[in-house]
Amino acid sequence: MEASFYPYLGALCWIGMLLMLGTLIRAKVPLFQKLLFPSSLIGGLIGFVLINLDLVGMPTSTGWKDITPNIFSMITFHLFAFGFVGIGLLQTKKPASGKVVMRGALWIALVFGMTFSVQALIGKGVFVLWQDLFGGTFETVNGYLLGAGFTQGPGQTQAYATIWQTSYQTANALSVGLAFAAVGFLVAGIVGVPLAFYGIKRGWCTGGRSGELPQNFLRGLMDRGDNPPCSHSTTHPANIDNLGFHVGLMAAIYGVAYLFGLLFSKYMPAGIAGLGFGLTFCWGMFLAMLLRKFMGKIDILHLIDGETTRRLVGGSVDFMICAVFLGIEMRALQEVLLPFIVAIAAATFITLIICVWFGRRSPEYGFERCLIMFGYATGTAASGLLLLRIADPDYETPVAVEGGLMNVFSCLTFLPVTLSMPFAPLPGYPIVWVFAAVIIATPIAMYLLKFIRKPAF
């Protein structure tokens, strides 16, 4: 029995304890209320400190055993993908035409590709400039991984870096790439959360959330007697519990998504085969959307309760964000610490400008798209959902669905970058021109598609 607890159940217990601690701190400390830091981020930051001090572990019959960051990274991956299954089952509270959702998904996909390209060139440029000015033996090509780490997160970064290290013997590609991804999550919280708070105060939200914020919103806990229902039963408890039905449905879809990823990784070319499991969240969301469509056709869509699904997605995001920070190992920064910091600062500033500029000019839901895009462009879709939840906690806008659906379009718009990244260390490979072409072509395409309009906020 003891072996079944270590390490994964023990890791989940740590996440749960940190979430409770984060909830308590949010409710009691005005600073965190002012910044609107969610409990998952507070608990995750505490966990980040503890795990880097080697204080995260659990007692066993043979003594204390540490729980390593890679365990939490694995949990993060699955929580992230599982949450997107729920998003695929969701229907937005405010009806939005399919045209609006598709437009928003394409908008996010285009900005996503451009930010990746900008960040990659910044990382490479800073590494090259630093080596020219101050010397050093580090591989400057690893600077390109800033784009992968910020926009795609640890999963895709690991895929690229592993190819680089095994095919081209690029030293420390994996450690530098994962370090970029880890710090990207911090940037998403430290910069993105105040941005969301500022937008709420200025009344930029589509839902009109502005002015004085209610105390229960600031504390993060509802007042006694103010307890709105969070779900509606669609099954009879004598047969199957409502929550059990929805979790079972999502788990079944997730299992099929795994099989799809397995087939992709087995039969696709080596350069992109690693994306099979990396895009598990995308396969899961698509399968869920197809199932929801099918259930509608046979008139049983009423069995999916939107509120229950939202709560499951929200819970997955809470656990996931906390786990993300416990998966960060800062020792990976030691070799290229100073150029790493400079590249991070420059990329963060430019990314913020890009997201806000295009968000202000979006055809609709501009601020919500700005937030989810900044999260995408610094962490992963998980970070985007975290920021979106601050401005749109119940996913009343279709932006969460757009954020998942954007992967359909990015399969095409992002294809030049996806195909080029595995070959970046190859001498003479024109990846700089690939990034330059994406950066130039994206604003032109968005203008022609009428995605750039007069500023809305």
In the predicted model, is pLDDT for residue 21 greater than 90?
yes
Q: How many residues in the chain?
A: 457
Give yes or no for a contact between 285 and 88, defined as CB atoms under 8 angstroms apart. yes
What CA–CA distance (Å, rounded) separates 294 from 340?
49
CA atoms within 13 A on the CB side of 295: 17
Q: What is the 3-state secondary structure (H, E, C) of 157-180?
A: HHHHHHHHHHHHCCCCHHHHHHHH
In the predicted model, is pLDDT for residue 91 greater than 70?
no
pLDDT at 278: 67
The SS3 of residue 340 is helix
| pTM, entire model | 0.74
How crowded is residue 294: how many other Cβ atoms within 10 Å of its Cβ? Answer: 11
Average pLDDT, integer, range 64-81: 85
Average pLDDT value for the chain: 86
pLDDT at 95: 47
Between helix 8-28 and helix 306-326 the angle, nearest 10°, is 100
What CA–CA distance (Å, rounded) separates 109 from 402?
9
Range in 100-104, 129-133, 403-407, 438-442 the model is least confident about: 403-407
pLDDT at 212: 55
Give yes or no for a contact between 120 and 147, defined as CB atoms under 8 angstroms apart. yes
Average pLDDT, integer, range 418-436: 91
pLDDT at 382: 67
pLDDT at 451: 94
What CA–CA distance (Å, rounded) separates 101 from 99?
6
In the predicted model, is pLDDT for residue 384 greater than 90?
no
Listing DSSP states for 372-431 in one string gives HHHHHHHS-HHHHHHHHHHH-TT--STHHHHHHHHHHHHHHHTHHHHHHGGGTTSTT--H
